[in-house]
Amino acid sequence: MNVVRDAVLWVWDFVVGDLVLAIGVAITIVVGILIHHAAWAQIVFVLLVLATLTAAVYRVALSQ
Amino acid sequence: MSANVFVLVASALASAVEFVEAFTVVLAVGVTRGWRSSLVGAIAALVILAIIIVIFGVAILRLFPLGALRTAVGVFLLLFGLQWLKKAVLRYSGLKAQRNEANEFEHEVEVLRGVSGSRSGIDWPGATASFNGVFLEMLEVTLIVLALGSGARAMGSAVIGAVVAAAFVAVVGYLLRRPLERVPENTLKFVVGIMLTTFGTFWAGEGVGISWWRGDLVILPLLAVYLVASWILVLALSRGRAEVPSSLRQAGS
C-alpha cells in the first residue's frame, strides 16, 4: 500500500505544489485552444510558457 | 519488393524520431531520478500499450484521440519541466543552495535507515514522466506502423523497420548512458528541465491544434529559446542579488 500512498501524496503535492506554474500552464492551454488557428499562435504559446517560468522564478526571488 | 523496402525505410526513419524522443525522456529521468523509476515507468507504458493493442487492435485510434492524449502529456511535462527549470534557475542565480551530492547521499542514507521498509523505492515524478513519454511516443510508432503497413499492404516491412529503429536507438542510448552520468547533477537537471519543457510545449501545442513551424524540427529552436531565456533569467537574478547589499539581504532573510 506504500506505493499507492506515495502516488496519492505525490499527485497532491504536484498539483498544489506551485500554484503559479499551475495557473500559468492552465492559461497557456486555454489561450492556445482559443487562438490555435492563427499563424502566430505558436509564438504566443511559447511566450506564455516563458511568462509562466518568469513569474514562478520571480515569485520566489521577491519573497527572499 | 521495392515497395516493401520503401515502407521499411520510411517506417524505420519515422519510428526512429519517435524512439529518440521517448528514449530522451527515459534517459533524462534515469540519469537524474534513478534508473529503477525510469525503467518501471517505461516498462509499465509498454505493457499497458501492448495489452490495449492486443485487446482493441486498430480501434485504438478511437479509444485514444491523439490530440487529447498529446495535450494531457504535454501539460504534465510542462508542469514537471518548468518546476525543474525554476529550481535550476534559482540555484544558478544563487537564490537556492546548489545540490551537494555528498550531503544528499548522507541524508538519503539517514532517511532510509529511519524508515526502513516503509518506502516504495519508486520516484513517482520520474516514473510518471517516463511512463507518459514512452506511452505517447510508442502510441505514435503504432500509428506510423499501422498507417504505412496497411496503406502499402506491407505490414511486415513496416514492423521490421520500426524494430530496427528501436534497436538502433536503444544501443546508442545505452552507450551514451555512462558519459551522461559523469555530468554534474545541477547542470544535468538544468538541461533536463529545458528538454522536458520543450517536449511539453511541443506536445501540448500540438494537442490544442497549433501547427508548429517545420513540424518535429521546431523542437531544436524551442530548445535554444528556453536555454537562452533561462540564462537571461539567471543573469538578471544574479545581477539583482549583487546590487542588494549583503547586510540588507541578511536582514530580509
ipTM: 0.86
In chain A, the residue whose alpha carbon lies closest to the alpha carbon of B125 is A10
Q: How many domains does chain B have?
A: 1
State whether residue B86 sits within 8 Å of chain A by CB: yes
Q: Which of B85, B201, B249 sits opposite A45 (nearest CB)?
A: B201
In chain A, the residue whose alpha carbon lies closest to the alpha carbon of B72 is A29
CB A54 within 8 A of CB B165: no
* Higher per-residue pLDDT: B131 or B243: B131
pLDDT value of residue A42: 95
Using a CB-CB cut-off of 8 Å, the residues of chain A touching B205 are: 32, 42, 45
Sheet strands (E) in B18-119: none
**For the segment B198-248, what is each residue's pLDDT rounded down to a tens digit?**
988 988 998 899 999 888 789 899 999 999 999 999 999 988 776 655 544
Q: B169 lies in a domain? A: yes
Residue numbers of B between 172 and 211 with CB closer than 8 Å to A: 197, 201, 204-205, 208-211
Q: B219 lies in a domain? A: yes
Q: What mean pLDDT, rounded, does chain B reach?
A: 77
Q: Structural domain boundaries of chain A?
A: 18-62
Alpha-helical regions (H) of chain A: 2-16, 19-35, 41-62
Using a CB-CB cut-off of 8 Å, the residues of chain A touching B93 are: 61
Q: B224 lies in a domain? A: yes
In chain A, the residue whose alpha carbon lies closest to the alpha carbon of B213 is A42
Q: B250 lies in a domain? A: no
* Residue span of the structural domain in which B208 resides: 2-241
Q: B126 lies in a domain? A: yes
Is residue B132 scored above 90 in pLDDT?
no
State whether residue B149 sits within 8 Å of chain A by CB: no
- Which range in A25-34, B73-82, B122-131, B237-246 is most confidently predicted, on average pLDDT? A25-34
Q: B187 lies in a domain? A: yes
